[in-house]
Structure 1
Amino acid sequence: MRFEHRDTDADAGIVDRVWRTRSGAVDTMTSTARTCSHLIITRTQGRVLASLRGPETRATTAPVPPDAEFLGIRLTLGAVLRPHPAASIVDGYVPFPATDSGRVVIGGEDWEAPTYDNIEQFVRCLRDAGLLVPSPLQSEQPDGHRSTRTLQRQHRAITGLSRTAVTQIDRASAAATMLRDGLDWCAVVEALGYFDQAHLAHALRRYVGRTARGLRASGDATMSFLYKTGSRPGS
């Protein structure tokens, strides 16, 4: 499976990435850990399926239906598709019904399923209907009214993850991307602040489901959501 992805000019506080792919010869894939929710539209055998997948705290194995096309909308950290905040679907998902004509039912109303090219219009419609709302996360610097502990509780309540977990997942994803692009483990350890090779290996197994050697192996495309979105963890 090869992912195509791009930035979007939809509301930057709600969506930060869109992607698409299609199933190939494999019937399972590794779904890497992720910090943000994804709204996924699947077209298979003349049907349209839709689901909101929450943050995932570790790599898992996911089934891949044959002859399927997938379209994904990655929400920004803490953004909400009502009434399903990320904290309520960590390591889980919410399916949405679809009509016989292929429209997706969200918030009690049916919407035309988007394509890769018109996804911005779909996002704006959900936003204008009050279904997609920006992340309520504010500055995470303590001030005179909010302590560090209060901010940590707020972050977990909104995202479903601690700030430490977000950093660890993003760092592992960045490490996997760097290794896949040909850097050796020594360079990755130094660049991302891992203690040593064992520390890096543990993070890769937990959050990416691959070893450094496996990531460097050519032709390994049975992975999801592993694409470069920034030059640093958390970006």
Structure 2
Amino acid sequence: MDFQFDYQMFESPLVGFAWQTWSDARGGSFMSAAAAQCEMVITRYRGELTVHLRGPETKASPAPIPEEAEFLGITFKLGTFMPHLPTETLVDGDALLPLTAGERAFWLNGSAWEVPTFDNADVFVRRLERQGLIARDPVVDAALAGRAAGVSPRSLQRRFLRATG
């Protein structure tokens, strides 16, 4: 199974890009590469919708591909996290976000959010930023850039773990 991806880059300091792809009638599986950042993945399969927040992956692992499914992903930059959802709980896993009754939206931090599309993913990300649902720690940013963070090594370690899992 070969994937063909469409990408949309972001100007945001929190989000790298959005991607979309489709699977064919064969389905199958692929090796999901280890990744340091989190992402939101929306899947449409046989009329069903799922919204997952995926955490960092410490190793490559096989992932199933359902036949004739559509996928949309929003990949966060390293160090971006959701303050209400500890990143360390997502390492090598994910969180299924519940859908609303009409299945056109999902619940995130107590509010209903319209399911984004590839064409409006940038608007969705800006809303997440404005609502404070995704964030970056300036101390972690400084450390990632190789600058002095101005905190003790133990504080840097705690803050880095919170932001990156």
For Structure 1 versus Structure 2, the TM-score category normalised by the shorter chain is 0.7 to 0.9
Say which SS state the counterpart of residue 20 (structure 1) adopts: strand
Aligned equivalents of 1:145, 1:119: Cα separation in 2: 35
Offset of residue 142 of structure 1? 6.6
Matched-pair identity in %: 35
Counterpart check, 1:139 vs 2:119: no
Offset of residue 70 of structure 1? 0.5
RMSD: 2.2
Distance 1:112 1:157, change over 3 A: closer
* Alignment match, 2:54: 53
TM-score, structure 1 normalization: 0.61
Which has the greater radius of gyration? 1
Q: How many residues align?
A: 158
> If each structure's helix is expressed as a fraction of its own residues, which one has the higher value?
1
Aligned equivalents of 2:78, 2:89: Cα separation in 1: 14
Say which SS state the counterpart of residue 61 (structure 1) adopts: strand
1:215-234 mapped onto 2 (5 Å cutoff):
none
* Alignment match, 2:99: 98
Counterpart check, 1:66 vs 2:31: no
* Alignment match, 2:43: 42
* Alignment match, 1:22: 22
Distance 1:144 1:17, change over 3 A: closer
Output the amino acid matched with 2:112.
Answer: D
* Alignment match, 1:123: 125
Offset of residue 153 of structure 1? 4.7
Residue pair 2:31, 2:63 contacting (<8 A) in 1 also? yes
* Alignment match, 1:79: 80
Distance 1:117 1:151, change over 3 A: same
* Alignment match, 1:158: 163
1:48-103 CA distance string (max 9 Å, x none): 21010000010001111222110000011121224223222111101001123421
Residue pair 1:77, 1:135 contacting (<8 A) in 2 also? no
Say which SS state the counterpart of residue 138 (structure 1) adopts: helix
> If each structure's strand is expressed as a fraction of its own residues, which one has the higher value?
2
Output the amino acid matched with 2:45.
Answer: T
Q: Which segment is superposed worse, 24-33 or 143-152?
A: 143-152
Aligned equivalents of 1:103, 1:93: Cα separation in 2: 19
